[in-house]
Amino acid sequence: MDIKETILDIKKELRANMNGIASAAMRQSADYRVNFGVELPRIHDIAKEFEASHELAQALWNENVRECKILATILMPVDRFDEEICDIWVEEIKTIEIAQFFCMNLVNRLKFASVKAFEWMASDKEMVQCCGYLTLCHVLRRGELQDRSADEFLDQASAVLEHLKTEGEGATKPTVLDTQVFKALQIFASQSEVNAKKVKKIADYLS
């Protein structure tokens, strides 16, 4: 398989399925060099036309194109996606949309997902932290969070949300990261009364 020719074929399909209105709206953002505005179901249909391939996925990821990056997360074989590549990719993510697909399609399926979640949650880069909490949401849904890890998660979440402990009209608005933290806390709280009480303590502290 000639990777360059395959990439050209994929781009031709993306152009053929381009949503002009969506693309124009998304183009206002400087997050992608190219954005075709192709809807997600069609992106998945295009992915089905190609075999999973480490080389193809890596080449797609290196394209600063929204749809190519989404396709990369679908076409990357999980058994070829090691921690080193995982850490390189996460550092290159600029939008919450790509972060969501990256965590859902790839990181969520890795045996070291929980390890990455906590590593990234402790990062000083907001989008990397978002990936940490997004991954943790998947770990929580599977019921794989241990008690000691749960305490660490709650400590990290409290630290992130600390800036919201303000009063009056000057209160800071929730950030993209805050939203991911809230989602993780909601999932955690829904799993038991004990968890719900722990989350309530955080909410009471922040109120």
Q: Is the confidence at residue 198, as pLDDT, over 60? A: yes
Q: Is the confidence at residue 99, as pLDDT, over 70? A: yes
Domain span at residue 183 reads 95-207
CA torsion angle for 47, 100, 92, 110 (degrees, to 10)? -80
Q: Which residue has the higher pLDDT, 166 or 150?
A: 150
Task: State residue 148's pLDDT score.
Answer: 85
In a domain, 86, yes or no: no
In a domain, 85, yes or no: no
Query: What does the alpha-carbon distance between residue 142 and residue 144 come to, in Å, rounded to a whole number?
Result: 5
Q: Is there a single domain that holds both residue 70 and residue 111?
A: no
For residue range 1-40, list pLDDT tens digits in order. Answer: 699 999 999 999 999 988 654 444 444 454 656 688 899 9
In a domain, 6, yes or no: yes
In Å, how far are 73, 81, 82, 139 from 78, measured between CA atoms? 9, 5, 8, 17
Task: State residue 167's pLDDT score.
Answer: 52
Domain-terminating residue out of 49, 80, 111: 80
pLDDT over 90, % of the chain: 78
Task: State residue 53's pLDDT score.
Answer: 96
Q: Is there a single domain that holds both residue 134 and residue 50?
A: no
Domain-terminating residue out of 48, 80, 112: 80
Q: Is there a single domain that holds both residue 57 and residue 109?
A: no
Q: Is there a single domain that holds both residue 26 and residue 109?
A: no
In a domain, 88, yes or no: no
For residue range 41-95, list pLDDT tens digits in order. Answer: 999 999 999 999 999 999 999 998 999 999 999 999 999 999 999 999 999 999 9
In Å, how far are 11, 16, 58, 129, 146 from 156, measured between CA atoms? 41, 45, 32, 10, 15
In a domain, 90, yes or no: no
Q: Is there a single domain that holds both residue 57 and residue 138?
A: no
Q: Count of domains in the chain?
A: 2
pLDDT over 70, % of the chain: 88
Q: Is the confidence at residue 166, as pLDDT, over 80? A: no
Q: Decide: 69 and 95 in contact? Cβ < 8 Å.
A: no
In a domain, 55, yes or no: yes
Q: Is there a single domain that holds both residue 60 and residue 111?
A: no
